[in-house]
Structure 1
Amino acid sequence: MKQLIRRSFVGITAALFVFTTASTAVAGIPFFSQDDKLPSLAPMLEQTTPAIVSIAVEGTQTSRQQVPEMFRYFFGNPQQAPQERPFRGLGSGVIIDAEEGLVVTNNHVVDNADKIKVKLTDGREFEAEKLGADAQSDIALLKIDPENLVEVKLANSDKLLVGDFVVAIGNPFGLSQTVTSGIVSALGRSGLNIGGYEDFIQTDAAINRGNSGGALVNLRGELVGINTAIFGPNGGNVGIGFAIPSNMMKSLVDQIVEFGEVRRGLLGILGNDVDAGLAEALNSPANKGAFVNEVAEDSAAEKAGIQSGDIITAINGNELHSFNELRAKIASLGAGAEVELTIIRNGDKQTVEVVLDAAESMVAAAEEMHPALEGATFVTGNDRAGNAAVEVPEVTEGSPAARIGLRPDDVIVGVNRKRINSVTQLSESIEQAKGVIALNVQRGNSNLFVIIR
């Protein structure tokens, strides 16, 4: 049976909860039932579940059907009139600020929704306003205005350990307030092609369809993660689920609150993962982390003294497992953030202080690059290998960019087979090109060309 990675938003909800070991109680929360003194999670759940909400969305999706490739010789590339189809769905959310009414969920839960309704565990329902979202990290921030809310306190997700117990709470398959348990199976998971920036907590707590946007907490009821996806055949639970670390979520939410958008940080390096073979070749004591292939000129990394051949093993004292994990953490920290990187150079360990640059996240005026690109949004980001490239987060239906074949979530890695790594380079390469222009595009796991004539 083929295994698939699937979003866990399918009209239902849930929340995950992570625990550190304790013998009797944590921060005053007993772990025994009052009647017979048997071990119980009920006291913690009683305090935590009011902060987990159900989210119902309604909206319309627009689709167009293109003429099949074999018939375009006769008909060109016309498109049918757009078809609007209503959709409804359910997900979960987590109240992180009771006073301000702030609720965190997954972006894919509320994406394209015209109406968002939040339901509390006490039965109250409220219309929600979306303050902002980040599709690449799959985080969205909502606001509601009721009184007497309960919030979840934030924990330091970098302190989470493999083996910590987890409890999932929510509405899998529409069953409200369902609780399941497990452990943290792995940390720093990436390369799953779930989102643009991946640094997931993996758990074997039973998660099924509809568990998107829930919370991951420790035994104190403190938030350590936001549930986002499952891995398994036909979207069913096989003991592999993924959650976004709370530290990553907090950095993104803070930017949305302050700026109304996410302003990513940029280190300015190209690289790849460290494995045992590379470590042996470099005579390095580190067999995991992020290897620096190239340092961009005048970048934050160059200013901090990072060099090609360095191995970055930790960020702010927390161990790194891969280059993608470093990329996700840097991107979520935001422009201007000060970070401490632990590096190994020629076998010696040292630390460097880095002030992150602002990622080139401006939306380019696509039509100014070329009329055929009108309707597309271009943002400097990364390809699936973690190298700098140009992401295409949006393409307007029926636009010139859609007609030449660009699609949302495409990644442009080159122009006429020449590598590009920023929106600026894309613009310059198109301006310098003559005649037909071939964009080298990554789409999912495929590589293809989009031709501009």
Structure 2
Amino acid sequence: MPQAATQEGEASGSGPTLVLRRGRSSTVSATPTTTTRSMALVRARRKPPGSQSPQEPPVRSPTSKRKRGAAANQESKERTRTRDEEEEEEEDGVSSAGSSPIRAPQIPDALYEDLDMLKAIQDIHDAYDEKLGRQMELPTLYLHTCKPPTCLSTNPKLLRVRESTTKTVLAAAPSVIGLSSSVGRHSLTRCSGFWVDWDEENKKGTVLTTAHLIRTKSPSSNDWLGKDEYAPKAKVFVHFRDATTEKATMLYYEKHYNLAMFEVRVDEPVQLLSFNDDVKSAEEVFELGRDESSFLTIGHGMVQYLNPNLLERHHYLYVHGTDEHPKYDNGGPVIDFDGKIVGMLYMYVSLLHACMSIHCGLRKRGTENKQILRMSRPHLGLKFSAIKLLDPPLIEQILVKCSIDSGLIVQEVSEGSPAEKLGFRVGDVIECLNGKHVSTTVELENMLLSKYVEGSSGLNSEVDIEVWVFHMRRSLWRSKTLTVKVSDDAEVIVRGGMHPSPTKFLRFVVGNSHLWH
């Protein structure tokens, strides 16, 4: 039978670490019973009095002490400190390994033929796998085995700025947090967010994220149908970078702009990023978020100025080159190469500023009146696209035929809306609202939101908006007063359908009978 390792050299890795040792119950020792570290610590802590004791500083005569004065005392203190440091370094050196080195089991082939040893051999391999698994959980090794590299490591276009952008991302990372939600025992989703405020007096931080965090149903991809359902009383937790969690309290959520704001207890001040309102088309940006393990996620792309399609809201921020359906960074910040926030995924920073102003209003009015203020906006009942974001040949055709090179093209009119009753039709062009020129849908949303952020008295009320519109079918400019509802709910565009009477339908069928043959 192989003999158990007894020498210190074997325990430290110079010989086989895992050996077989038969006992009364045929058990196996996977590792030596006494490691190098433990033996060294025992020797260091059980030194007999007087053995290798540090030498005392030489005793000086009173005359010598008077000559040297404070210098002697200082030298004595330095020597004492040096001895203490040496003892501490010696003990640190002994225990720095933390455990014995990992060695793969080397089992002689003959032992596998012994049926009584199979269980012991399996225990040895299990112990080795367990120790190897613990090693791979170390922060310095874990990422290399389970996390794919980010764009900063794989994108060749970022090689020239990798060092500077890495610093930028790491500087912004403390502002990015993860959030999760649940209703009862049912988990809803996990997403990202970022700090936007810090209440030093109450030790609370405010997080801005997406309302998708508390969304329970989304039956349609058409945002304008307003079919999404939410759970305002859902339980929400904030996941910090160190993997700790804290329950959050919802301040409010906004369906139309897909925003939600939460408050959470934080003992230390949080990091707040600055904002950049002047993001340019084709400007390179990073999308930041955190995954289920609170690891930082990084996406890279360029800002695109695009018209929304008929399923999307007017305020979207488009970033080319990133995942169209991100799993975790939905709600996280989009930052420029200077580390400033230019928006959230699908939302420009200008709208975030409006959200911040609402939060400031809530803070001023006191925590007992948090539901007084809302992010309200007029519901125009219209969908638009911007002329300036069309392909140049299309812009030229509109300019040649209509002498118009800027404004918003009406893409859809909600059935039964005030706009439809006033004669607004698909293809018309709106150039001004309340005397202010509007050239993109984002500008439109900024104008509406900045003017109509009101208290509860403004909710579900009506306002008049002066609209300068070009009726394409008549080739005429007209000024129309559009009276619309102001609401904090998501705007719904109802697509109209033709409902002919039975008589008209029969006439249509008879008159077009040749089509059925």
Q: TM-score, normalised by structure 2?
A: 0.44
Tell me: higher relative CO, structure 1 or 2? Use CA pairs within 8 A at least 6 residues apart.
Answer: 1
What TM-score, normalized to structure 1?
0.50
Structure of higher CA gyration radius: 2
Looking at secondary structure, tell me which structure has more strand per residue. 1
